[in-house]
């Protein structure tokens, strides 16, 4: 009997040891299996990549386009070859998303579309006076053209007629070109309101990026920044360089504009989009929030745009608002 019991105990011990020896192999299979089939989720939807990858985009405007560094200003440079491959905020936002685009900066300080896309510039001084800017635009083929007129009130009520000749010009080169209208904050500061024209402009197939109204609504407390920790005022968005220049947008607005253009083209929400590049001086010396503040806020140095930019909650709230000011 004792021999039988001993035999049974030995058998149980062997079975137990066998089970223990098998356990690690089973565990290894369970942990390794997912690594063979799991892939990292893409950070950018394929539709967004298709919309912009390898595409050409042109920014036509003035200092209310380039001051926030949506494109890097190029002064009096005229030839298109020197204005292509512009690496401002829009370019680097696309780079952050894994998208390569070609950006051309066709902006000139104080110019309306009739000057920057005209045959005889009305601006005084060198090199613009009487210049045929259009002759320097040697390759008018673009996939997207962002138009930012000056803020003259004469176009109110007739914005479509003002835009159409320029749109027709680019359509001759590419019938499938898409247009965006950038509406600066100075449109509202000077009470030249284009809002009544929006429907007619949108009916022409133009996407409206109305960052001007967004800023005006925030500053005048018509809307609040969701989750915002800052008190928003004019100086949050606009520089105060000297007594004569207290009306150009800062780097924070440059980011907001670039993001609005990107979302208008791709259909993506602005919420959760990257923005760290806007304060990365390794990309460009002027992508430095604190240095920009020191340089451009000398007349009235009160601003909190750096604090807003570095607040995750505030940036999330501003991104939420971006989505509401794109009109199609």
CB of 250 closer than 8 Å to CB of 68: yes
The pTM is what?
0.85
Banded pLDDT at 306 (limits 50, 70, 90): very high
Residue 182: count of CB within 10 angstroms of its CB: 23
Asked whether residue 29 is assigned to any structural domain, the reply reads no
Asked whether residue 17 is assigned to any structural domain, the reply reads no
- The residue segments making up the domain with residue 103 are 46-327
Assess whether pLDDT exceeds 70 at residue 10. Answer: no
Task: Give residue-wise pLDDT tens across range 59-101.
Answer: 999 999 999 999 999 988 999 999 999 999 999 999 999 999 9
Assess whether pLDDT exceeds 90 at residue 313. Answer: yes
**Number of domains the chain contains:** 1
Q: Give the neighbor-by-neighbor strand order of the sheet with 326-327.
A: 102-107, 56-61, 144-147, 178-182, 206-209, 326-327
Asked whether residue 1 is assigned to any structural domain, the reply reads no
Asked whether residue 39 is assigned to any structural domain, the reply reads no
Asked whether residue 215 is assigned to any structural domain, the reply reads yes
β pairing state of 326-327 and 178-182: unpaired
Assess whether pLDDT exceeds 50 at residue 15. Answer: no
Q: What are the distances in angstroms from CA 254 to CA 32, 190, 305?
A: 46, 20, 12
Asked whether residue 22 is assigned to any structural domain, the reply reads no
β pairing state of 206-209 and 178-182: parallel
Domain of 206, CATH number, reads: 3.40.50.1110
- Could you tell me the two tokens for 313? 């909650």
Assess whether pLDDT exceeds 70 at residue 27. Answer: no
Asked whether residue 16 is assigned to any structural domain, the reply reads no
CB of 147 closer than 8 Å to CB of 166: yes
Asked whether residue 14 is assigned to any structural domain, the reply reads no
Task: Give residue-wise pLDDT tens across range 236-291.
Answer: 999 998 888 888 999 999 999 999 999 999 999 999 999 999 999 999 998 999 99
Average pLDDT, the chain: 86
Per DSSP, helices labelled H in the chain are 2-37, 46-52, 63-66, 80-83, 89-96, 113-116, 159-173, 186-189, 198-203, 211-219, 234-237, 251-266, 289-296, 305-309, 312-324
Percent above pLDDT 90 for the chain = 71
């Amino acid at each position: 009997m004792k021999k039988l019991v001993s035999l049974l105990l030995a058998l149980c011990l062997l079975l137990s040891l066998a089970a223990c020896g098998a356990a690690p192999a089973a565990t290894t299979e369970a942990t390794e299996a997912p690594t063979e089939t799991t892939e990292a989720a893409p950070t950018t939807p394929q539709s967004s990549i298709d919309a912009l990858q390898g595409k050409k985009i042109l920014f036509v405007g003035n200092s209310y386009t380039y001051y926030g560094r949506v494109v890097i200003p190029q002064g009096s440079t005229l030839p298109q070859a020197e204005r292509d491959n512009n690496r401002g905020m829009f370019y680097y936002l696309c780079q952050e998303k894994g998208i390569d685009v070609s950006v051309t900066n066709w902006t000139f300080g104080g110019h309306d579309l009739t000057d920057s896309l005209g045959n005889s510039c009305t601006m005084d001084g060198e090199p613009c006076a009487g210049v045929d800017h259009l002759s320097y635009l040697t390759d008018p083929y673009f996939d997207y053209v962002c138009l930012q007129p000056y803020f003259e009130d004469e176009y109110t009520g007739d914005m479509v007629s003002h835009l159409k000749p320029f749109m027709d010009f680019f359509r001759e080169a590419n019938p499938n070109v898409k247009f965006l209208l950038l509406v600066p904050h100075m449109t509202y500061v000077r009470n030249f309101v284009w809002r009544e024209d929006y429907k007619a402009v949108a009916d022409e197939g133009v996407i409206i990026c109305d960052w001007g109204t967004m800023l005006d609504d925030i500053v005048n407390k018509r809307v609040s920044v969701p989750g915002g920790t800052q008190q928003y005022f004019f100086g949050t968005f606009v520089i105060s360089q000297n007594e004569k220049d207290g009306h150009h947008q800062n780097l924070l607005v440059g980011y907001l504009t670039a993001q609005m253009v990107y979302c208008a083209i791709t259909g993506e929400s602005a919420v959760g989009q990257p923005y760290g590049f806007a304060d990365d001086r390794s990309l460009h010396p002027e992508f430095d929030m604190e240095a920009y503040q020191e340089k451009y806020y000398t007349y009235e140095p009160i601003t909190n745009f750096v604090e807003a930019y570095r607040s995750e909650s505030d940036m999330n709230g501003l991104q939420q608002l971006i989505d509401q000011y794109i009109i199609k």
